[in-house]
């Protein structure tokens, strides 16, 4: 028996990195996972790995910044399994393509809009797509992936602003949906080694700031995701769990 047996959970950006870690762990706990990612081939690969391990996964190629695409993602889950129990809003614009790392005056309005389209509009559209189905059943769990950079300010302005918006959205949605049996929480990861092609020294540089002195891996976040998707967190909503090895001590 797994903690998520028979639950249907959508993971945006689920093909690789942190999203993949969530998808793999949810499936191991018995969930049926919808991998909603713009990268179709990578999504198919992750789905195949879940299947080989005895789990169930559905690929829904999704551009979270597009309303029709987000709606199609939700419909795909309903058509396949007849329900949506959970949504993890993980898809984010940060490293691919590379964002401007520098003062705010060097950030173009176009880049700002691109970051907000995925990191803020994306969670909004995906919540908007799944909530009618969750409200109809009187149950659902939404987990928005924010970032520890919101608490430290150590990143680019456009990224930190977008991740702060995610926390604000989490709080308002929690109040809005509580009467429908829906919980909305967020997870704020620290700098996580989610991209094997990135200079690993950038991850290692954050280690001295942590109480737990090692690089954070995507798998370090999966346990928090399972908790927030399981019945163990049914009376917890509007909260942000910081999972960063003790860099931010609140």
- Other beta carbons less than 10 A from residue 117's beta carbon: 17
DSSP assignment of 20-44 equals: HHHHHHHHHTT-EEEEEES-HHHHH
The dihedral sign for the CA sequence 29, 34, 39, 45: positive
> First vs last Cα of the chain: how many Å apart?
34
Question: Would you mind telling me the total number of residues written for the chain in this entry?
Answer: 250
- For residues 169 and 144, is the Cβ–Cβ distance under 8 A? yes
180 secondary structure, DSSP code: G
**Using CA atoms, how far apart are residues 126 and 75, in angstroms rounded to an integer?**
11
pLDDT at 236 over 90: yes
pLDDT band at 246 (very low <50, low <70, confident <90, very high): confident
**Using CA atoms, how far apart are residues 150 and 109, in angstroms rounded to an integer?**
21
**Using CA atoms, how far apart are residues 190 and 203, in angstroms rounded to an integer?**
10
Q: Which residue is catalytic, options 93, 133, 139, 159?
A: 159
pLDDT band at 97 (very low <50, low <70, confident <90, very high): low
133 catalytic, yes or no? no
pLDDT at 120 over 90: yes
**Using CA atoms, how far apart are residues 36 and 22, in angstroms rounded to an integer?**
12
Q: For the segment 32-75, what is each residue's pLDDT rounded down to a tens digit?
A: 999 999 999 999 999 999 999 999 999 999 999 999 999 999 99
Q: For the segment 126-167, what is each residue's pLDDT rounded down to a tens digit?
A: 999 999 999 999 999 999 999 988 888 777 888 899 999 999
**Using CA atoms, how far apart are residues 247 and 42, in angstroms rounded to an integer?**
31
Can you give the pLDDT at residue 95? Answer: 56
The dihedral sign for the CA sequence 160, 163, 168, 169: positive
Map out the domains of the chain with their CATH numbers: 8-243 (3.40.50.720)
Global confidence as pTM: 0.94
């Amino acid at each position: 028996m797994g903690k998520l047996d028979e639950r249907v959970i959508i993971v945006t950006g689920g093909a690789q990195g942190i999203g993949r870690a969530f998808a793999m762990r949810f499936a191991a706990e018995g969930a049926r996972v919808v991998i909603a990612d713009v990268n179709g081939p990578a999504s198919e690969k992750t789905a195949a790995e879940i299947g080989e391990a005895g789990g169930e996964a559905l690929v829904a190629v999704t551009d979270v910044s597009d309303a029709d695409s987000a709606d199609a993602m939700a419909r795909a889950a309903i058509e396949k399994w007849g329900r949506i129990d959970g949504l993890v809003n993980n898809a984010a614009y940060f490293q691919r393509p590379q964002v401007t790392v520098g003062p705010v005056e060097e950030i173009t309005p176009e880049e700002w809009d691109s970051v907000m389209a995925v990191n803020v509009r994306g969670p909004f559209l995906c919540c908007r797509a799944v909530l009618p189905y969750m409200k109809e059943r009187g149950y659902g769990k939404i987990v928005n992936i924010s970032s520890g950079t919101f608490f430290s300010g150590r990143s680019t302005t456009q990224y930190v602003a977008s991740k702060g918006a995610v926390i604000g959205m989490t709080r308002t949605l929690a109040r809005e949906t509580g009467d429908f049996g829906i919980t909305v929480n967020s997870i704020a990861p620290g700098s996580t080694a989610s991209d094997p092609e990135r200079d690993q020294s950038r991850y290692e540089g954050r280690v001295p700031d942590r109480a737990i002195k090692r690089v954070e891996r995507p798998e370090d976040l999966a346990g928090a995701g399972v908790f927030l998707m399981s019945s163990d967190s049914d009376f917890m909503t509007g909260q942000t769990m910081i999972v960063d090895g003790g860099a931010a001590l609140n």
